Chain A
Amino acid sequence: MSLTKDKAAIDQWYVLGATQDFPIGQTVATWLLGGDVTVTRQADGFEVTGEGRRLPIRTHYNHLWTSFGTPARDVFALPEAEEPDRRWLYCGGVRVAASGLRLIENFLDLAHFPYVHTDILGSEEKPEVAKYDVEQRRDVDEIWATKCEFLQPKAAAASEGGQISQYMYRVVSPFNVMLYKTPPTAPNRWDVIALFVQPVDETHAIAHPFMLVIDPSSTDAEIIAFQQMIFLQDKIVLENQRPVQLPLQPGRETPTRADLSSVLYRRWLKEKALTFGTEPRTDQVSDFA
């Protein structure tokens, strides 16, 4: 395995884990974009090295971020992190034998709720995905999907009975996404559920689910278990999609109107000329003779 040469992938911030995943005084070996990374945590902070050099560090939102390159922007803004009544939940890294890009797309997808999260996030009686809005916000270089809605039998750990959940999706970088959804106990606010994806190599990733939620009653273990349950239900899909790498070539897959956010996401990846984790294309003329 060796570090990718894909500049679009290199020049991004990536999560290596929640800061609590790294015990003080220990060194942890991990991987990023095909390269080896070492994390050492002392009482006064982190040291991250990879490819024989010190790598830059950020600790936004109690996660450890690093980069092999020079990202154009700092780690994204998250105003909800300032709200004092939110519960912060770190669900732990889960390894998936899939391209990290598939994880992001699955996170954006609504149409699978009745079949993969049956009687929880959706049910077969109501599979229709209503039209929603998508936009590419060029000022912050993010993809947003808004006015998404789905009838959910059990929307969250604290739910007692069904609700119509409002959703918004926000892709802040090719491997980092979050959604905003209606909390069962506070219908005029948003729960934040994020998926920070650590691409190990082109066909393996570590998913770090992170939640900033309004929930006055559930235990931490119950909220974490709910999110892990949802993610493990998705894992069997993620690991069984073919090809393993995300195809960007037209005609390889068949999106419909319900897939609007993933269509925009893939267009955005192509605009960035990102190739890491994507299926090699046969329809383009090479720049090199």
Chain B
Amino acid sequence: MNEDWTPIALSRDVPAGVTRAVRLDDRELVVWRGDGAAHVWEDRCPHRGMRLSLGFVRNNALNCLYHGWEYGAAASCVRIPAHPDLTVPPSIKANAFPAVEAGGLVWVGRHDAGTRPEPPEAVTPILSLGVDIDSLDAPRLDLDLPGGTLHLYWHRVTAGRIMLHAVSQGDVDPIHAAARVRHLRDELEQQVAA
């Protein structure tokens, strides 16, 4: 498995026009999509530090909720509403991380990240959910289901909590798969509690 890249969301859960706040090892990130690929940025507007995940997507740009500062897909600020005639200096930009979409997932990379992740591509997204445990033994768990396989990826949110990201391969009933993931969640949490 590729340790430079961490899966943090299902692509399906960040459709066009949507922002999603994600916490990765206590770092606040925003995942958002305009017209094209999903972006992963530090969840912080450089103006007054407002979390960009509470902002709004318009015209392939992410706008900060506080003062409406507009950031284009390349992370540069392109408009400051309080100063409509100002050409925004190129130094004002959001902090963007390397991001790729593969295997139905959005992955965030370290700044020196090398080869992209290459997970199975012929998959159906199932769900992401939080589990109150600190980690799993491997970057991916595979579970057999009638008709196919469930792949469970995960990232650590904070100490004692992870998010599982489940995709399926084969002819798997998605509702049944979701129930299987919840069953696993309950088992894992009860093990911790025991």
Is there any pair of Cβ atoms, one from A and one from B, under 8 angstroms apart in the complex?
yes
Segment touching A, from B7-15, B64-72, B143-151, B176-184? B64-72
* Interface hit among B77-85, B106-114, B125-133: B77-85
CB of A242 within 8 A of CB of B82, answer no
Q: Shortest CB–CB separation between residue B41 and chain A, in angstroms?
A: 13
Q: B51: which of A240, A255, A256, A257 is its contact (CB, 8 Å)? A: A240
Chain B positions 88 through 105: 1 when the CB is less than 8 Å from some CB of chain A, otherwise 0: 000010000000000000
Interface contact A240-B68, CB-CB below 8 Å: no
Most buried by A among B28, B67, B68, B84: B67
- In the complex, whether A87 has a CB less than 8 A from a CB of chain B is no
> Is chain A's binding surface mostly helix, strand, loop or mixed?
loop
CA distance A105 to B54 in the complex (A): 20
The bracket for how many chain A residues form the interface is 20 to 34
Query: Interface majority SS on B: helix, strand, loop or mixed?
Result: loop
Chain B residues near A124: list those with CB within 8 A.
Answer: 68, 81
**Within 8 Å of chain A (Cβ to Cβ): is B47?**
yes
A243 touches B83 (CB 8 A): no
Which residues of B does A touch, CB under 8 Å?
A: 28, 43-44, 46-51, 54, 65-68, 80-84, 86, 92
Beyond A128-B83, A256-B80, list 16 extra A-B contacts (CB 8 Å).
A110-B82, A112-B66, A116-B65, A127-B68, A127-B82, A128-B81, A237-B66, A240-B50, A241-B49, A241-B51, A242-B50, A247-B49, A253-B47, A256-B83, A257-B83, A258-B83
A-B contact pairs, 10 of them (CB 8 A): A109-B67, A110-B82, A116-B65, A124-B68, A124-B81, A128-B81, A237-B50, A242-B44, A242-B49, A253-B48
Interface residues of A (CB under 8 A from B): 105, 109-112, 114-116, 124, 127-129, 236-237, 240-243, 247, 252-258
